[in-house]
A and B are shown apart, each in its own frame.
Chain A
Amino acid sequence: MNKLLLILLIYTSFSACLNKEYSEYQIIDGKSIGKLKIGEKININNINSLIDFKINSDSIIKELYTSSPRYITLKGVRVGDNIQLIESKYGKPIKQELELKKGKYTIGKIENIMLYKKLIFYHENDTIKSIGIKDNHFF
């Protein structure tokens, strides 16, 4: 009986806290992924293995991306979803391939990208591989 109650207690704790964690796994367009925020100084306490980041020489976060399906955008898109979901939620992207530039010259391109003003999706085989945000507001 005690064992059963213990199992119940552990299960209940986990299931209750899953809801709590939802907001901690939020991707906010152009602003933050989880606790890491664009434009803020990197805080060692907020770093985790599920979020990659780029910082500038002043340790200010300028780019964040995640390949973890735990994180979800405000419109409910996450890694592992089919890219059709992106368009249905966000409309047509600004770009679906990014040009490789050497200064003023174009030397090639990278496909598999869906770029929105404040969100970037990278995909392979029609499945989202990573979601990123940057300090830029894309045009």
Chain B
Amino acid sequence: MKQVMKIGILLIGILLLLQNCEKEKFNNFQTIENNIEKDEISKEYVNLYDYPNIITFLNTNSVFSNVLKSNNFSSNNQTNDASNIPVLMTTTENGDTTFTLDYYNELDIQNLYFDNLVVFEPNMVRDELYSYIIRYRPNLEWLIENDFQLDLNNYIGTIQYLNIDYSINGEQEFTNNTSETDKSSQAPQVITENCYLDSYILNPDSCGCGILVIDWYCFSSIYGHGITSFPQGYDGGILGGGGGGSDVGALANSIIQSLENSLNIEFTVEQNSYLLAHPDQALQLFSFLSLNNNSLEAQQFAIAAMEALESNNYNSLDEYLNTLVIFDSPESPTAIEIDLQNDIIDCFDTTNNQNGYHTITIYVDQPVENSNDTYDINIFGDIEVGHTFIGLEQGSNGVVNQKVLGLYPNGGVSPDQPETSAIYIDDGGHDYDVSIRIEVTPTVFNAMINYISSINTSDPNYNLNNNNCSNFALSLFNLSGSNIPDTSANWEVMGNVLGGGTNPGSLGQDIRNLNPLPTGTLEHDTNGGNAINSNPCN
């Protein structure tokens, strides 16, 4: 008897554990379809490629491009791309089968909605397929109250059934008062597993109001997005004279106004007309600025992009981006090489300068301002490693000379091939995050000039790990006896150590936190700015 009880308790334990774990699992994938469609006998995710009749149908009905688009494929791709397009296939007791797919919807600046395409294959008519679009128009307050988490069990809003030409065939309203049973009986097929909503308010003002952008993701592709003013009807704050969510023109005007504010410029009549005609591009630019904190770099890019788009040479921002070569390289004509003989040795007086004043400044442009980070991946997917450079100034016998220079590799380097010859580039005007300027004696200054001259740039004298711009600038500066620490750190890209050494991130923080300041300090700037410009040698 005792034995039987033990076994019974163990079995109950197993059952409880299983039940708990399952409950947790379903909480993460709450979907309407878990509770509805009582006559469903199977529901599974399949690959579209395995159903060539569906592909043929989609192609014949000219809707395949939207399916491809929603899955991040370009619309002119071959049907082979469909091999990885997920489809929710549901079969019912009477043999009907539906295939539900992500369906791309063009940006609608009037209303928020998200589409699914359903292909219906009735049991009795095997050769004939029907399709329709399910359009979700969620209630904005419901989205906000639910913190934009997709939980269609509690869906509040409208669901519309559209023909492929987008004409409305039917509509259902889901409110707070719609009972769970009613929802179960009404709610249609929908892909919800792995779906989520991503939302952000562009340029919110103090009340948190602004332009609300919501992206609807399933399987990692944005396949629907919409914008509206938030709260709906809001027309104040940064939106300027903008109108409510139901007024397309007003909302477009609001975006354009916000774009103008962000760029701090006034658009020409032509530019304004262009953006009004292409509000999606205005929003794209505005989103770009907002997502990148309206940085100077982003602003410059946005202005250039707008001019390019306006020239009608490009159809979209993405198309324009694909053609860009944004940055110069040190070999670029815009880079000014420092000639050791003319710009340093002959420029600074090292023989008759005992009565002059001499200063050296070390400037650090950190990858991330006020951070030890050794790199940052910027918006263009480039790795910013920062830069350290030097400013030299001499006032001797009534003549003032100033040069700003940094050490660069004179060719490509990489973690695999970190060494190459070096080159001095004029860094006048280069931006920086932190700097310190000290006065040095003529003797120390002369030693610094000798140090710079001693580097034979034609040798492989640039090494990403142990003779980079920061090594050079720090060694030179410390000839003053300042003893700024030399902190080494790894170049660790996504957890993979690719090298390491003295770097602008760590050095910038060391200089920022210097205490006490070195003897002879004239200026300790932790606010950043632009370095002085080099002047012609006098």
Contacts and interface: CB of A to CB of B under 8 A. Distances in A.
Interface string A92-107: 0011001111111111
Given A104-B327, A107-B412, A136 B194 contact: no
Interface in A91-139: 91, 94-95, 98-111, 113, 115, 119-120, 122, 124, 129-132, 134, 136-139
Given A67-B495, A103-B365, A139 B413 contact: no
Interface residues of A, number: 64
B145 interface: no
Contacts of A31: 196, 198
A16 B19 CA distance: 9
B445 to A, nearest CB: 26
Contacts of B18: 12, 16
Interface string A72-107: 011100000000000011110011001111111111
A130 B496 contact: yes
Interface residues of B, number: 70
B382 A99 contact: yes
Contact of B28 (A23, A73, A89, A104): A23
A80 to B, nearest CB: 14
B292 interface: yes
A100 B194 contact: no
A57 B413 contact: no
B72 A137 contact: no
B121 to A, nearest CB: 26
Nearest to A122: B494
A74 B102 CA distance: 14
A29 B327 CA distance: 27
A17 interface: yes
A12 B16 CA distance: 11
Contacts of B408: 102, 105, 107
Interface string B442-461: 00000000000000000000
B272 to A, nearest CB: 25
Nearest to A98: B383
Interface string B375-391: 00111111111110000
B370 to A, nearest CB: 6
A117 B226 CA distance: 19
Nearest to A30: B198
Residue among B412, B425, B494 with the most chain A CB within 10 A? B494
Contact of A100 (B6, B17, B81, B383): B383
A48 interface: no
- Chain A binding site: helix, strand, loop or mixed by DSSP? mixed
A15 B452 CA distance: 66
Given A105-B408, A106-B327, A136-B377, A17 B21 contact: yes
A108 B21 contact: no
Nearest to A39: B200
Contacts of B72: 90-91
B343 interface: no
B327 A105 contact: yes
Residue among A31, A100, A130, A134 with the most chain B CB within 10 A? A100
B165 interface: no
Interface string A15-29: 011011011000011
A71 interface: no
B371 interface: yes
Nearest to A75: B220
B425 to A, nearest CB: 7
Given A30-B198, A73-B220, A106-B327, 4 more contacts: A13-B21, A98-B383, A99-B327, A103-B387
Interface of B: 3, 6-7, 10, 13-14, 17-18, 21-22, 24-25, 28-29, 72-73, 81, 83-84, 194, 196, 198, 217, 219-220, 288, 291-292, 317-318, 321, 327-330, 332, 335, 365, 368, 370-371, 373, 377-387, 406, 408-409, 412-415, 425, 430-431, 464, 469, 493-496, 498
What 6 A-B pairs have minimum CB-CB distances, sorted nearest first?
Answer: A108-B413, A74-B220, A23-B28, A16-B21, A102-B387, A130-B494
